[in-house]
Amino acid sequence: MSGETLSGTELRAAITSASDYLTASAKAVDAINVYPVPDGDTGSNMAATLREACDHMLALEEPLAAGQVLATFARGALYGGRGNSGVILSQSLLGLAKGGGEVEDLGGEVLA
């Protein structure tokens, strides 16, 4: 990592770490769940959505372009979206992937 951009491999590792963190925090998110529906399963649904997305992303073979990682992760989230919160999350990820296009490395200018 250059400090300014993430390669596809680095991005995949960061996304996997974020997904693991949400999975570990799902019960805490469930406990404060009020949106989009106060049914106490937002954290669990988002974690399940990200696990499915990670499964798709982790099936990619090296070398990886950051845009390819984003697109595959977002598509996996769309296919595996659980509940309202998972589907909303998948749509946000699709927007991020669309903005990323086919970039080799992901930098702040893509995220902005």
Above 90 in pLDDT, residue 13?
Answer: yes
Q: Who's near 83: CB < 8 A, 6+ residues apart?
A: 41, 42, 45
pLDDT at 64: 94
pLDDT, tens digit, 9 for 90 and up, residues 42-100: 999 999 999 999 999 999 999 999 999 999 999 999 999 999 899 999 999 999 999 98
Question: 3-class SS at 6?
Answer: strand
Above 60 in pLDDT, residue 17?
Answer: yes
pLDDT at 2: 54
For every residue of 61-79, DSSP letters joined together read PSS--HHHHHHHHHHHHHH
Q: What are the backbone angles phi and psi of residue 35, rounded to the nearest 5°? A: -135, 140
Which amino acid does the sequence have at 18? A
With contact defined as beta carbons under 8 Å apart, do 76 and 57 qualify? yes
